[in-house]
């Protein structure tokens, strides 16, 4: 799960009279493009608890900010950079507009979030939220908010970069496009992207792209002629205003194996997917997502999506949304699971197959998954193991969108629960996912105990 560094392309915005001339970033005090009617119902920001006798952690450097001057390389400001994408990627974002319908949540603050999750270390859920650098967590059950907390300066209006959870959104967009008859998930890439005919991508089914089984990889440095540089998509290609820059790069990729032969988690798959969907629907992706997800899901705020300088959405990351709008996306999916046709307009059984870990050619195949061991990857979602002790997530039909630095969206159909987590942890490691999953499992236990 690679991503553009939150510190890349950090520039000081032009002084427009609304901010200090030497300010590098600013948090909007009010976003006019949102539903204000629920603001009074939202919980206020909560300060992180002090560490309980542990050695200094990287997350302890996270703070709340003096915005007059910050150092983008300082981990204390990582949460701010995650929620300031329109500043860090100046001129390289587009808005996903919400509509007039607002999905309202009731409030049920009865969830006990203090249970011990590690009896040896006496670690509580609150400790985990602090140690993992969580900037927000919301738990929604049966349409009621059971838990909602904000930290490190985030508020209910903060739009946080949710990283690779964007992939889970884009796989849903693909399913919607099939239901509309705009494409078929078994179509080869070249049917919709003429420029990739004759390339390694040409015969790859769109379904293989979202399942990370395309079999296409970038040419290795060893095989690359010395006079052809290896471009970095984050620093060389995405900032380019040339609309062919990324396409020309994709044309150089090699076929490593046939589709469905191996699992290879690879961001370029979703760039190709985004291009194919946009061509097939003949609609800008931001408009398509707004029309088919953001409006009918009842989002409260607009979202923000990263683009190249040429205005192309890459689809593998870069969606910024508020915490409760993340939860609304999960609830929209639960609508479809409860009553077909009430949620995203996807093919019949789409989310049921994901929930049952039946969507891919195999939940553990087409290759060993050493990224999140014991998890499968199903149509853009991670599927937890099931049928054994400690499998609270999988046994309740959960599927999960995960993003770097600790972002997560858990959809748990059998409990009618959505858990959304946003994080500002300064560094990424796969251990973050393990701790994240333990956290979600503990939330489930607390919910079941409260019943």
Query: Alpha-carbon distance 244 to 267, whole Å?
Result: 18
pLDDT of residue 81: 55
Confidence of residue 4 (pLDDT cuts 50, 70, 90): very low
pLDDT of residue 54: 45
Report for 110-119, 140-149, 236-245, 381-390: range of highest mean pLDDT: 140-149
Q: Cβ neighbours of residue 299 under 8 Å, at least 6 residues apart? A: 98, 99, 102, 103, 321, 325, 328, 329
Average pLDDT over residues 345-355: 95
SS3 65: coil
Under DSSP, the state recorded for 45 is: P
CA neighbours within 13 Å on the CB side: how many for 52? 13
pLDDT of 43 higher than 50: no
pLDDT of residue 9: 34
Higher pLDDT residue, 121 or 342?
A: 342
pLDDT of residue 451: 74
pLDDT of 34 higher than 50: no
* Closest C-alpha among 214, 271, 354 to residue 346: 354
pLDDT of 283 higher than 90: yes
pLDDT of residue 41: 32
pLDDT of residue 237: 79
Query: Alpha-carbon distance 306 to 314, whole Å?
Result: 8
pLDDT of 415 higher than 80: yes
Quote the tokens at residue 103: 């999905």
Percent of residues, the chain, with pLDDT higher than 70 = 71
Contact 272, 209 (CB under 8 A): yes
Q: How does pLDDT run across 218-270, given as a tens digit for each residue? A: 877 556 565 555 667 667 777 888 889 989 999 999 999 999 988 889 999 99
Taking CB atoms within 8 Å and a gap of at least 24, the contacts of 182-189 are 182/277, 182/280, 182/281, 183/276, 183/277, 183/280, 183/281, 185/210, 187/276, 187/280, 189/272, 189/276
pLDDT of residue 18: 31
Under DSSP, the state recorded for 294 is: I
Could you identify the residue written with the tokens 């979602």? 381
pLDDT of residue 89: 55
CA dihedral of residues 22, 25, 28, 33 (deg, nearest 10): 120
* Closest C-alpha among 99, 79, 81, 103 to residue 90: 81
pLDDT of residue 362: 43
Average pLDDT over residues 49-53: 42
pLDDT of residue 14: 31
Q: How does pLDDT run across 294-326, given as a tens digit for each residue? A: 999 999 999 999 888 888 888 888 899 999 999
Higher pLDDT residue, 430 or 120?
A: 430
Other Cβ atoms within 10 Å of 416 Cβ, number: 17
Q: In 59-199, which ranges are continuous DSSP H helix?
A: 78-82, 85-88, 125-131, 165-179
Q: Would you say how long the chain is, in residues?
A: 451
pLDDT of 12 higher than 90: no
pLDDT of 61 higher than 60: no
pLDDT of residue 419: 98
Report for 28-37, 260-269, 407-416: range of highest mean pLDDT: 407-416
Quote the tokens at residue 130: 């602090």
CA neighbours within 13 Å on the CB side: how many for 293? 29
Contact 270, 316 (CB under 8 A): yes
Average pLDDT over residues 116-121: 59
Q: Cβ neighbours of residue 91 under 8 Å, at least 6 residues apart? A: 309
Query: Alpha-carbon distance 90 to 80, whole Å?
Result: 15
pTM score: 0.81
Report for 18-22, 121-125, 222-226, 295-299: range of highest mean pLDDT: 295-299
Higher pLDDT residue, 220 or 388?
A: 388
Quote the tokens at residue 351: 């989310």
Domains of the chain: 39-160+284-450 (3.40.710.10), 177-279 (1.20.58.710)
């Amino acid at each position: 799960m690679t991503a553009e560094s939150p510190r890349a392309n950090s520039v000081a915005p032009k002084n427009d009279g609304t901010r200090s001339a030497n300010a590098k970033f600013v948090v909007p005090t009010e976003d006019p493009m949102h539903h204000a009617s629920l603001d009074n119902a939202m919980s206020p920001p909560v300060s992180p608890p002090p560490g309980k006798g542990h050695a200094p952690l990287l997350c302890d450097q996270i703070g709340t900010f003096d915005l007059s001057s910050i150092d983008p390389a300082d981990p204390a400001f990582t949460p701010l950079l995650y929620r300031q994408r329109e500043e860090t990627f100046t001129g390289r974002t587009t808005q996903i507009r919400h509509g007039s319908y607002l999905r309202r949540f009731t409030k049920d603050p009865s969830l006990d979030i203090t249970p011990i999750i590690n009896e040896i270390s006496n670690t509580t859920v609150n400790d985990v939220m602090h140690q993992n650098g969580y900037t927000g967590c919301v738990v929604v059950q049966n349409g009621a908010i059971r838990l909602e907390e904000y930290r490190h300066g985030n508020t209910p209006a903060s739009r946080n970069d949710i990283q690779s959870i964007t992939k889970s959104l884009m796989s849903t967009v693909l399913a919607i496009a099939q239901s509309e008859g705009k494409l078929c998930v078994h179509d080869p890439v070249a049917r919709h992207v003429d420029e990739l005919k004759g390339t390694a991508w040409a015969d790859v089914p769109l379904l293989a792209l979202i399942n990370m089984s395309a079999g296409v990889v970038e040419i290795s440095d060893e095989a690359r002629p010395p006079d052809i540089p290896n471009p970095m998509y984050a620093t060389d290609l995405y900032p380019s205003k040339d609309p062919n820059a990324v396409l020309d790069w994709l044309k150089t990729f090699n076929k490593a194996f046939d589709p469905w032969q191996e699992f290879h988690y690879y961001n370029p798959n979703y760039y190709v997917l985004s291009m194919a969907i946009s061509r097939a629907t003949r609609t800008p992706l931001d408009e398509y997502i707004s029309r088919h997800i953001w409006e009918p899901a009842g989002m409260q705020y607009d979202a923000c999506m990263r683009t190249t300088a040429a205005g192309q959405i890459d689809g593998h990351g870069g969606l910024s949304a508020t915490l409760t709008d993340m939860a609304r996306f999960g609830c929209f999916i639960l609508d479809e699971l409860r009553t077909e046709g009430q949620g995203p307009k996807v093919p019949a059984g789409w989310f049921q197959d994901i929930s049952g870990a039946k969507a891919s050619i195999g939940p553990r195949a087409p290759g060993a998954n050493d990224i999140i061991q014991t998890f499968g990857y199903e149509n853009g979602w991670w599927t937890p193991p099931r049928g054994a002790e400690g499998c609270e997530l999988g046994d309740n039909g959960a599927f999960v969108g995960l993003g770097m630095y600790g972002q997560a969206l858990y959809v748990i159909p059998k409990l009618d629960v959505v858990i959304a987590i946003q994080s500002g942890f300064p560094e990424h490691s796969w251990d973050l996912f393990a701790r994240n999953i333990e956290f979600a499992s503990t939330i489930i236990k607390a919910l079941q105990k409260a019943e």
